[in-house]
Structure 1
Amino acid sequence: MTAEVLSADDSAFANLFPLKPFRIRHGFVDDPRLTLPAILDLVKHLPRDRIEYNSGKAAVSQDPSSTPLVDLSPEDVVQKIETAGAWMVLKRVEAHPAYRALLEEALMSVARAQGHRSLAEAGFTDIQGFLFVSSPGSTTPFHLDSEDNFFIQVHGEKFFNVYDNEDRSIASEDQIEHAITKHRNLKFEESFEARGMHNRLLPGEGVFVPYIWPHWVRTSDTYSISVAITWKTAEVKRRNDLYVANSMLRDRGFPQKAPGTSPGWDAVKLGAFRVMAGIAAPLRKSESLRKVIRSLVLGKDANYYYQDKKKTGM
């Protein structure tokens, strides 16, 4: 692959994409959109539910109910990132045109290199961006995400560890459902180490993280800026919707089988869930209504990132 914006060896895309992780390269190191002043401006304009942050002194196997927080405002975290001892993610940055353009530029370089004429033709739909700003020595606990991800390192050094879960022995279907619908964190066991892909990422480097592959991350001795360039294929969106539908039914006392176990029942649940999601979609333009919808669909703890008081427990 020869694209300059986001690239990898041709063999990686031919033999690994999109089912296995591999290292990538990118050209966003000096991009003015990914500097601390630009990020501070972005923080000031993001809705509060698009900003999550806590202490960087979390454990790899962190219990979400005792995640240590920092007693700082989002703006303070960015301005004091070298000494704040904090980890922050800015979610859904594609809502801002400049960052939408960055994400599409990166993915279009991959699409063209693969012989596609458009993002949709390449399967890059539901494109979202997550921008990470972390203090030195900060840990992102072991977790999984509900999308495919080109993760790029822009500033600082980061250690990014991805683990093979194809046989579901690291995270079971029940744990995957919980991570997607309740909280992303998973319990880490030392026995997982042998199945890890361990990456030291410098600016200009990155890694492709496949859908629901568990990983944890740690920064080095300087602050870090990173971006997750994510998308969902039609099949990923379908599976995620089924996890949410199953979680809703399970919370109401109706046990469910994993997606794919009962195709007919899956189709019924999926149809009903998507009708409800379509009705709710206009309401999600309001932050306060998004908060209510998350609570109704995902449970009482769905808005955990609104916590603002410092916790000292681990």
Structure 2
Amino acid sequence: MNAHSPIAPAPAQPLFPEDARAAFAAAYPDRPVKLSHRLMDHPLLSLDALAALAERMPADRVEYNLGRMPLGVRPEDTPENGLTLGETIRTIETNGSWAVLKNVEADPAYAALLDSALDEIAPIVARSTGPMLHREAFIFLTSPGSITPFHMDPEHNILLQIRGSKTMTVFPARDEEMVPAQKSEDFHGGGHRNLEWKDSFRARGIAVPLAPGDAIHMPVKAPHFVENGPAVSVSLSVTWRSERSVAEGELHSFNALLRRRGLPVGRVSDRPEEQGLRRFVYRVMRKLGA
């Protein structure tokens, strides 16, 4: 155990109540669904504990900036807040900022917390998309009124609201008007997660309010944006990959390779894990340095 890490207490009862696990099972993997959890008062998720965690994390595992931004913002236009990371977290109530701590599972105490949450739903996941792969955890700290712009993420994700409130507006995955094929190809090749925003999109989203004790399951690459409430928000995101999400990434990467060579691209189906031949050809071409 890291000498500076708080010790995670063993949970006295499941982190996800029975009704939350049932709702997740009915929705996974393709539909967003609101859930509940029991992590609101966990000592690892207090502001002091998170500030200490942030200060011992590698610099490339932390991202923070001013929080009042338009829904659509280019990555290069994201404004800095002029503070150190520790200052940002300890004064988050008043500094108008947004911060994310990435891959906190590198710390043993937070790894145990991640596993205690995901182990409860791993059997549900396995029935639909196979074993959980590449488990990760992210912690978001947000000042009152902050906005996380319109974007998508590559993982299966459950976001748990710990402190404060926010509204997450979620849009359908696989909508090619919001996420054009070439954007997916660029994204899986290391491109930025932010998406181009159009006001006409708003009516197609579902606004999900989240208070402490609430959570939401987010399908892979479902576009969304987040509007923070009138108080500081702390959220924990527990994520994993699956054969399905890995297959989708491979197939979009294959299409990118074909597109660069002026060759016809293929369709990525709703069950990309079943497109074995195309995935095999892509892996062979990648191995050959294509």
Q: When the two structures are superposed, what TM-score results if normalisation uses the length of structure 1?
A: 0.77
Deviations 1:118-142 (A, max 9, x none): x999622210011101111111000
Please state if 1:221 is matched with 2:230.
yes
Deviations 1:248-268 (A, max 9, x none): 786xx5356256489655423
Query: Aligned residue for 1:207?
Result: 216
Task: Describe the SS at the equivalent of 1:6.
Answer: coil
Please state if 1:148 is matched with 2:156.
yes
Please state if 1:197 is matched with 2:206.
yes
Within a 5 Å distance, the mapping from 1:47-126 to structure 2 comes to 47-111=58-122, 114=124, 123-126=131-134
Q: Is the contact between residue 152 and residue 222 of structure 2 (CA under 8 Å) also seen in structure 1?
A: yes
2:38 to 27, 46, 60: 27
Distance 2:94 2:203 in 1: 34
Task: Describe the SS at the equivalent of 2:48.
Answer: helix
Q: Is the contact between residue 178 and residue 184 of structure 1 (CA under 8 Å) also seen in structure 2?
A: no
Distance 1:20 1:242 in 2: 22
Q: Is the contact between residue 62 and residue 141 of structure 1 (CA under 8 Å) also seen in structure 2?
A: yes
Please state if 1:4 is matched with 2:5.
no
Query: Aligned residue for 2:185?
Result: 177
1:22 Cα deviation from its structure 2 partner = 0.3
Residue identity in the other structure for 1:16: A
2:136 to 109, 120, 128: 128
Q: Is the contact between residue 129 and residue 244 of structure 2 (CA under 8 Å) also seen in structure 1?
A: no
Task: Describe the SS at the equivalent of 1:132.
Answer: strand
Task: Describe the SS at the equivalent of 1:58.
Answer: coil
Q: CA 1:14/1:163 → structure 2, altered by over 3 Å: closer, same or farther?
A: same
Distance 1:213 1:120 in 2: 18
Percent identity over the alignment is 32
Distance 1:234 1:132 in 2: 27
Q: CA 1:57/1:248 → structure 2, altered by over 3 Å: closer, same or farther?
A: farther
Deviations 1:236-292 (A, max 9, x none): 123224445655786xx535625648965542332454798xxxxxxxxxxxxxxxx
1:179 Cα deviation from its structure 2 partner = 3.4
Q: Is the contact between residue 259 and residue 266 of structure 1 (CA under 8 Å) also seen in structure 2?
A: no
Q: CA 1:72/1:275 → structure 2, altered by over 3 Å: closer, same or farther?
A: farther
Deviations 1:61-111 (A, max 9, x none): 112221111111111111111112111111111111111111111111223
1:254 to 257, 261, 285: 261
Please state if 1:161 is matched with 2:169.
yes
Q: CA 1:269/1:121 → structure 2, altered by over 3 Å: closer, same or farther?
A: closer
Q: Is the contact between residue 129 and residue 242 of structure 2 (CA under 8 Å) also seen in structure 1?
A: no
Task: Describe the SS at the equivalent of 2:95.
Answer: coil
Q: CA 1:183/1:109 → structure 2, altered by over 3 Å: closer, same or farther?
A: same
Please state if 1:269 is matched with 2:278.
no
Structure 1's unaligned 5+ residue stretches are 277-314
Distance 1:271 1:93 in 2: 34
Query: Aligned residue for 2:147?
Result: 139
Distance 1:245 1:48 in 2: 32
1:44 Cα deviation from its structure 2 partner = 1.5
Query: Aligned residue for 1:306?
Result: none
Q: Is the contact between residue 19 and residue 210 of structure 1 (CA under 8 Å) also seen in structure 2?
A: yes
Report the more deviating stretch, 18-27 or 229-238: 229-238
Distance 2:118 2:287 in 1: 27
Q: CA 1:121/1:213 → structure 2, altered by over 3 Å: closer, same or farther?
A: closer
Distance 1:196 1:255 in 2: 35
Q: When the two structures are superposed, what TM-score results if normalisation uses the length of structure 2?
A: 0.83
Distance 1:122 1:210 in 2: 15
Q: CA 1:247/1:98 → structure 2, altered by over 3 Å: closer, same or farther?
A: farther
Q: Is the contact between residue 28 and residue 204 of structure 1 (CA under 8 Å) also seen in structure 2?
A: yes
Structure 2's unaligned 5+ residue stretches are 1-12, 270-274
